[in-house]
Structure 1
């Protein structure tokens, strides 16, 4: 029975783990560099998925409150919304806190005060994109470099009686790094395009909401005693 199992395993060939180990060994050091590149890409993509969630940037409930802020101020119920702004749990809340702190001033001054913080928030939204950019550029180049180095070794060993099958197998192994490099770069390009589009959409949405809020704050009185309570001018 044991001999039968041993014979079956021998005929079945190497296991998946052995095949992966052989794959890396045949491709050389460039495959390990590609493995590190893939880990960096995966980490950056996961980070962007988490950092660009709706609640971290523009929570829907807070966006609705900003949309109805003028009505809320007119009804005298702005205090809970102001408290949510002050907590600063999202990019929208932090920018709104800056805007309401400039209430009573011209809209241009309010917009100018918000701009610096808005730029910082956009920079935060862009965090991690540089890593994906680098992966997109480096992964195919590492793949080509690995292939080129493999081909150099193969062709340098040419002899008059060289085995064509051996040469063909060697070239196939050398091309593995190019395949892996492209396999890393293509998903990274797709992810980069998706994240960049989402960042642009969120930035435009923030601009629209803050413009509306600045318009309300311009027509809102600023209490002399520093109270956070808002009231319409006049």
Structure 2
């Protein structure tokens, strides 16, 4: 509060940047912790945007190829899809490789092998979500802790004969700033968490549909028919 009073006494109005600087400076040590928490939250959200890109999970081209996998076997155009599976550049490709590797076996055995691999892919999809959960829990608590510590200092001045109620009111306002910042960090993190969770569920459902269809084809096709042109070249 003293920097603001000195600026007003000098007859100058603080600029927006100065007001923001004073806002965070008056929060004290807990503003630093909240700043670190916000950095972790932003980093985790950016990481999830990158890792949950459609091209990394269910590429549209590969999804179309898997959807038409049976017709590709019948026409001998399956080699390109198999090569994509082997490269394993997406979750669908890695799971597709496992499914094709179990071709000719009973449906239950294929499903068991795919489910084992799918669990690791689901864990990979959820990587980084724990950091967002921590930010959602910690940011409001740090804000409240900063407010509580500020109120302790403010109310410790009560009871004296020269109590300045104006300063006490201003002090309470300063103490509440950490709570405001904590909530401001937690709210976007909660929105991001819901968005990413919904995206993961959508990807999981799409993968299940495609892999179930691929498993049925592999069960009926003990031997995948190679590309005829590739056979002629040999």
Q: How many residues align?
A: 218
Cα distance in 2 for residues equivalent to 1:160 and 1:131: 49
| 1:229 and 2:229 are equivalent in the alignment | no
| 1:209 and 2:186 are equivalent in the alignment | no
Cα distance in 2 for residues equivalent to 1:75 and 1:25: 70
Residue 164 of structure 1, CA deviation: 1.1
| 1:188 and 2:189 are equivalent in the alignment | yes
For residue 162 of structure 2, give the secondary structure of its aligned residue in structure 1: coil
Cα RMSD over matched residues?
1.7
Asked if 2 retains the 8 angstrom alpha-carbon contact of 1:222 and 1:230, the reply is no
| 1:119 and 2:119 are equivalent in the alignment | yes
Cα distance in 1 for residues equivalent to 2:29 and 2:15: 22
Partner of 1:7: none
Cα distance in 2 for residues equivalent to 1:167 and 1:80: 73
Q: 1:161 to 1:12 in 2, by over 3 A?
A: closer
Q: Write the deviation string for residues 146-179 of structure 1: whole angstroms up to 9, x where unpaired.
A: 0000000000111232111101100000000000
Q: Which runs of 5+ in 1 are unaligned?
A: 1-9
| 1:200 and 2:201 are equivalent in the alignment | yes
Cα distance in 2 for residues equivalent to 1:174 and 1:212: 59
1:63-78 aligned within 5 A: 63-78=63-78
Partner of 2:43: 43
Residue 76 of structure 1, CA deviation: 1.1
Q: 1:21 to 1:74 in 2, by over 3 A?
A: same
Runs of 4+ aligned structure 1 residues displaced above 4 Å come to none
Q: Write the deviation string for residues 93-118 of structure 1: whole angstroms up to 9, x where unpaired.
A: 01001100111111111111111211
TM-score for both structures, normalised by structure 2: 0.89
Residue 49 of structure 1, CA deviation: 0.8
Q: Write the deviation string for residues 62-102 of structure 1: whole angstroms up to 9, x where unpaired.
A: 10100000111011111111111111110000100110011
Partner of 1:161: 162
For residue 103 of structure 1, give the secondary structure of its aligned residue in structure 2: coil
Residue 11 of structure 1, CA deviation: 4.3
Asked if 2 retains the 8 angstrom alpha-carbon contact of 1:221 and 1:230, the reply is no
Cα distance in 2 for residues equivalent to 1:13 and 1:122: 54
